[in-house]
Structure 1
Amino acid sequence: MASLGIIFQPSFPPERLRGVAQRAEAAGIEELWVFEDCFRESGIAALVAALAATERLRIGVGILPMPLRNVAITAMELATIDRLFPGRARFGVGHGVLDWMGQVGRRVASPLTLMREYVPALRALLAGEEVSVDGRYVHLDRVRLSWPPQGRVPVLAAGEGPKTLALTGEVADGTVLTTGTSPAMTRDALQRIRDGRDAAGRDGEHEVVVFVNAGFGPTAATDMEAEFDRWGFEGERRVAATGDHDEVASVVREFLEAGAGTVLLQSRSEEPDLDAWIDDAGAVAARLR
């Protein structure tokens, strides 16, 4: 089932998160995702705080940088969260920003190799399996969680380049596409993901989550230009859903028709009236039901 959500960016102070999550739930929004950007806010801490502040809202983290996190620790955290809040948390992992990884001495020579080793190990641990791996980056010796999730916990992986997208199809349960991805780019990404799944002999569901810049009101398109500049987006990547509720809903439908299963609206990094923006996102969600 298609889902509409919003993103809480770490450009906003952490103490705003509880109120944002509660307002999103009251507005009828289905999901709220948080970031783990160096060196701003913890994705896991923010995820748990938002879950504890709400009753029904699904909370996702996109993404947890794999180089920063031992896979066993990540598995322990995700399993604990899912047992505390069954079925309400969503988890994405990824390469992380390579420059940030370098700042903390965790930049790896082959991010693709890390993903190829890390994601299957994480999925196996969350499935309650005993895991032994002696890879280039992941090393586990008969590791098994004492308290694995009681149900299936999908692991999503972020991808942008063609090789990473194919690899997410090969090893993950879903793919996260960041802001600056157009509907046409979403279609292309889906084909690369399918190619990866086919090559690995995988079938079944593979969800695609896409982040989409969004702004409301008659000046939203103009206002968004500075946000594109802030992110360094050029050409086709300068894509956003802007305008009134119907116009934004129309763009969201384009992403859903391109194959996205979840569309997450992302405000400007310094949105001046975040409460009103959340209410507008809720109005869009109502139009999509």
Structure 2
Amino acid sequence: MSGTDSSANGSSDDATWAIELTPEHPPDRVAGLAALAEEEGFDVAFASSHYFNRDPFVVLSRMADATNEIRLGPGVVNPYETHPVKLAAQVATIDEISDGRAVFGVGAGDRSSLSNLGVDRDRPLRRVLETFELARDLWAGETVTHEGAFTARDASLNLEPAGEIPVYVGAQGPHMLRMSAKRADGVLINAAHPRDLEWAVSQIEQGLAERPDEAGEFESLAFASVSVAGDETAAREAARPPVAFIVGGAADPVLERHGIDREAAGDVSAALERGDLNEAFGHVTPEMIDAFCIAGTTETVAERFEAALEHVDGIVVGSPLGPDLEDAIERASEALAEATGDAA
């Protein structure tokens, strides 16, 4: 797989450095984190999208004001909570105010979160594909009528992006992985462990075999839960919440791939369904953390990054980052530099 040139902000030509910033914090705090990530050499900053957090596009506007070069986008939004035409307009707006730095991270969304809103996540693959293909047409200045997984009639935008906006599809299952490789500009693989990444790449290669030449280069990024700190124990403890949610949504084949007991995973899921988060986090085992998060000191994380990069073109340093966010961004940058041979 051929990756994009990621040298603009100081990272290796061979690996893209990206980061997920979660708007559970005020917009100005997240903007400051984006500015720090830019200083530390990251190429892309994604603002995650969950209905219970601050609006990612409002936060992205603050991130655009606070930065100069780093690319910015939602990572990832779903085309159920917001109509795809509206999503296209929102991403184009971020592109406009950032002088052409937008990326579009789009996926099917979390089924349980959508169910909280009474939303049925029907036909996820078709809806994601039709969403970004419609967005591309709208960004090209076309007036679009669409009847498919959703409806749009005589839709157009009153603005045009400054340039091409890359589309990254959040994916974990085989069909979404293959579709992204065939039609998108990149994929955000929801995995941290080399075993999962190796399996995902086998699916991606099937899609690339059907990718038309005119589609251009394709980039695969591991969207990995990461927790890095000076103290190994502190880093692993901070990993418990995201790992609990990953385990709660993990399919049986994924659990089997890592030898995780189904009953132990069921305890986590049951506590999450009851809304007892502390109990759920307490049920997270060391084996679950090893399977679903890159957690530890800078040196440990660098080794895990290096192993992941055997399979992908780059890494998205995802939530929770670490117990201290600013420190974690700096340490993640150091770890990526070690993993990619960029360390001074």
TM-score interval for Structure 1 and Structure 2 normalised by the shorter chain: 0.7 to 0.9
**Identical aligned pairs, as a percentage?**
26
User: Where does residue 192 of structure 1 map in the other structure?
Assistant: 203
- In 2 relative to 1, CA 200–209 (structure 1 residues): closer, same or farther, beyond 3 Å? closer
**Contact residue 92 and residue 102 of structure 2 kept, 8 A:** no
User: Where does residue 128 of structure 2 map in the other structure?
Assistant: 115
CA deviations on 1:46-97 (whole Å, 9 max, x unpaired) are: 1111111122222232111111121211111212221221332222111111
**Contact residue 36 and residue 62 of structure 1 kept, 8 A:** yes
**SS class of match (1:192):** helix
User: Where does residue 173 of structure 2 map in the other structure?
Assistant: 161
**Contact residue 236 and residue 296 of structure 2 kept, 8 A:** no
**SS class of match (1:280):** helix
Q: Find 1:106's aligned residue among 119, 140, 164.
A: 119
CA deviations on 1:183-227 (whole Å, 9 max, x unpaired) are: 232232223223234346465311122222232334246435634
One-letter identity of the residue aligned with 1:258: H
**SS class of match (2:168):** strand
User: Where does residue 208 of structure 1 map in the other structure?
Assistant: 220
> TM-score under structure 2 normalisation?
0.73
User: Where does residue 301 of structure 2 map in the other structure?
Assistant: 248
**Contact residue 4 and residue 29 of structure 1 kept, 8 A:** yes
Matches within 5 A, 1:223-238: 223=237, 226-227=240-241, 229-233=243-247, 236=258, 238=291
**SS class of match (1:258):** coil
**SS class of match (1:142):** strand
**Contact residue 184 and residue 258 of structure 1 kept, 8 A:** no
Distance 2:41 2:168 in 1: 24
Q: 2:162 matched to 1:150?
A: yes
Distance 1:30 1:42 in 2: 22
CA deviations on 1:131-180 (whole Å, 9 max, x unpaired) are: 22111x322233333322131111111111112222222332211122x4
Distance 2:64 2:336 in 1: 20
**SS class of match (1:64):** coil
Distance 1:83 1:228 in 2: 33
**SS class of match (2:209):** helix
- In 2 relative to 1, CA 243–122 (structure 1 residues): closer, same or farther, beyond 3 Å? same
**Contact residue 155 and residue 173 of structure 1 kept, 8 A:** yes
Q: Which moved more, 1:91-100 or 1:234-243?
A: 234-243
One-letter identity of the residue aligned with 1:45: V
Cα shift at 1:35: 0.5
**Contact residue 91 and residue 155 of structure 1 kept, 8 A:** yes
**Structure 1: gaps (5+ residues):** none
**SS class of match (1:257):** coil
Q: Which moved more, 1:248-257 or 1:224-233?
A: 224-233
- In 2 relative to 1, CA 266–229 (structure 1 residues): closer, same or farther, beyond 3 Å? closer
**SS class of match (1:156):** strand
> TM-score under structure 1 normalisation?
0.86
**Structure 1 or 2: more strand by fraction:** 1
Q: Which moved more, 1:203-212 or 1:67-76?
A: 203-212
Q: Find 1:176's aligned residue among 188, 200, 207.
A: 188
**Structure 2: gaps (5+ residues):** 6-14, 248-254, 259-287
User: Where does residue 275 of structure 1 map in the other structure?
Assistant: 326
**Contact residue 127 and residue 152 of structure 1 kept, 8 A:** no
